[in-house]
Amino acid sequence: MLENTFSDLERLQYNRPLEGRALAVVVESHGIGVSGWRVTIKPEGWAEDTTRENHTNCYGLSMAKVRLAMALDQRTGGGR
């Protein structure tokens, strides 16, 4: 599926790039808070993924996971 397309935020560490096949993210922290973040699109990885047979189903599942995580974060105040 798309677990390699999107960055796996479960493995996120501040100030270190987290790379997926099509997207990468860096969350910058200097001191006790987050000072910024950056998402980088990797066109060649995205092009590769969109040609896969099950892209639409996998993308939909990945987006559902993101929406659920956002809803849980709102309901619980964040954290695990």
Other C-beta atoms closer than 10 Å to the C-beta of 1 total 14
Q: pTM of the full predicted structure?
A: 0.67
Number of domains in the chain: 1
Structural domain containing residue 11? 2-76
What strands, in cross-sheet order, belong to the sheet with 23-29?
Answer: 18-19, 23-29, 34-41
Q: What is the pLDDT of residues 22-64, one digit of tens each?
A: 888 999 999 888 999 999 989 998 888 888 888 888 888 888 8
3-state secondary structure of 51: coil
- What's the rounded Cα separation, in Å, for the pair 15 and 26? 6
The stretch 62-75 carries a mean pLDDT of 83
In the DSSP assignment, the letter for residue 14 is T
